[in-house]
Amino acid sequence: MSESGRSQANQTDDAAGRPYPTGVEAVFEIARRLRAPDGCPWDREQTPESLRPYLLEETYELLEAIDRGHDDGKVLEELGDVLLQVAMHSAIAEEQGRFDAAQVSETAAAKMVARHPHVFGDEQVADAEEVLTNWEQRKADEAARSGRGNETRRRSQKRLRSSRPQTTRKRRSPKWGTYCSRS
């Protein structure tokens, strides 16, 4: 490790000797460190496009863990893997000056507030079914305002179905074992 890498790692070491802060910020700090000039060569080369199969694969693994049920350790691990993917994509965007992890979080929070006026506003709902109906209407309104329609959802679902076998093959490739960062 370079001298600057050692000093950077020491600056973030906590009392337990971890080179990252506690809490949700930990994974975002790790993603930044992996992509730093003295970080991992493989992680530095990644792009949103190259990480796409890993995001998809980690999502499927999380869904499988949820489907198996009653294994909090596995669900915890897979949630972390998905969060690491979010952190990596956020780090890349931050490097490119597009947005950062804080903006990702705030955008998601703002979306949830906008779609839950029965919680954060004065709208009244009778039950969960009405919440779902309102949610779908709000999503359709947002899509119409932005020029996107249901075609985006159909294309995404088709891509998800067709990408599963491909991502599994990529994960099992002989080269996978040489990567620095496996989630």
Taken in order of first residue, the domains within the chain and their CATH numbers are 3-104 (1.10.287.1080)
- Three-state secondary structure string covering 39-60: CCHHHHHCCHHHHHHHHHHHHH
Structure token pair of residue 141: 């309104």
What is the predicted pLDDT for the residue at 31?
97
Confidence (pLDDT) at 77? 97
Cβ neighbours, 10 Å, residue 79:
14
Taking CA atoms, 102 is separated from 4, 49, 90, 106, 171, in Å, by: 26, 22, 9, 6, 30
Mark the ranges of the chain whose per-residue pLDDT is less than 50.
1-11, 165, 167-183
